[in-house]
Structure 1
Amino acid sequence: MKKRAVYFIITLVVMVMGLLSRKFMFIFPKDIAPYVGDMIWAMMVYFGFRFLLPNFSLLKSFSMAIIFSFAIEISQLYQADWINAIRRTTLGGLVLGYGFLWEDILSYSIGIVFGVVIDKYLRLKNIQ
């Protein structure tokens, strides 16, 4: 299967996992349950970049996902009425979030590292 198709499927699967993670938080240990969705969101960002730019190196894709995720989180320090109106929509809230949290920065980092590890595993297994 072509790389781009594999990354598209992975991105969709991870997206569904992220949406379901809120509904099934109870299956995760209570200490990490609030952060699982953020980890999965960041993993989706990583695989989204892999889908859009499949020939980029793992390091470039990792870097782009980190920069994008951190930029979204840092943008939450900006609380103007117009952007908060966007955040109050379902899609706006999912993409932009609501308020800056250092825990989210850590969650994004972990999620992206998990994405890289999965990506590396798939490459070793020659699934792409």
Structure 2
Amino acid sequence: MLKLNKVYFFLALIFLAAEVLIGLCLNDAFIRPYGGDFLVVILLYCGIRSFADFNSNYTAICVLLFAYLMEFSQRLHLINRLGLHNSAMARLILGTSFSWNDILMYTLGILFVWLIERLWRAI
């Protein structure tokens, strides 16, 4: 079940690089707040598929639920409850503020993955 898939691994590295560049170089009103959230679920999906040969639908649903869970943990101020509000790394990973726009971007990102997977299989 665990086996390196070079295509997904390469894609994960590309999406990771894109996320890092967005985080370090952009402070705009569109790409950073929306594009980053759209891409992060694709990064997670490709990262999982790099090493685990799970069903694509199962993986997509799990990634989306994980993203929702992380977003709703922000609504509950989990980072403060855990005493991690002073940690830059924790703020980066867990986030600090809930947004319905983030939920929308996660959903659109996974729908994009699902569509690409379907088109790829049809070829």
TM-score above 0.5: yes
Residue 77 (structure 1) aligns with: 75
Residue 53 (structure 1) aligns with: 52
- Cα deviation, 1:19-65, whole Å, max 9, x if unaligned, reads 21242466xxx5x42311111111111112212322x2221111111
Cα distance in 2 for residues equivalent to 1:88 and 1:13: 30
User: How far 1:119 moved relative to its partner?
Assistant: 3.9
Residue 43 (structure 2) aligns with: 44
Q: Percent identity?
A: 27
- The 8 Å contact of residues 49 and 61 in structure 1, kept in 2 or not, is answered as yes
- Cα deviation, 1:59-102, whole Å, max 9, x if unaligned, reads 111111111110111111222535352x5434322321111111
SS for the counterpart of 1:76 is helix
Which structure 2 residues correspond to residues 8-23 of structure 1 after superposition, within 5 A? 8-22=9-23, 23=25
Q: When the two structures are aligned, how many residues end up with a matched partner?
A: 118
Q: Measured at CA, do residues 90 and 47 of structure 1 come closer, stay the same or move farther in structure 2, by a change above 3 Å? A: farther
- The 8 Å contact of residues 4 and 52 in structure 2, kept in 1 or not, is answered as no
SS for the counterpart of 1:94 is helix
Which residue identity lines up with residue 50 of structure 2 in the other structure?
F
> Please, what TM-score do these two structures have when normalized by structure 1?
0.74
- The 8 Å contact of residues 45 and 63 in structure 2, kept in 1 or not, is answered as yes
SS for the counterpart of 2:77 is coil
Cα distance in 2 for residues equivalent to 1:51 and 1:36: 22
SS for the counterpart of 2:49 is helix
Which structure 2 residues correspond to residues 1-128 of structure 1 after superposition, within 5 A? 4-22=5-23, 23-24=25-26, 32-33=30-31, 34-54=33-53, 56-79=54-77, 81-83=80-82, 85=84, 88-123=86-121
Structure 2 unaligned spans of 5+: none
Structure 1 unaligned spans of 5+: none
Cα distance in 2 for residues equivalent to 1:91 and 1:43: 21
Q: Measured at CA, do residues 117 and 84 of structure 1 come closer, stay the same or move farther in structure 2, by a change above 3 Å? A: farther
> Please, what TM-score do these two structures have when normalized by structure 2?
0.77
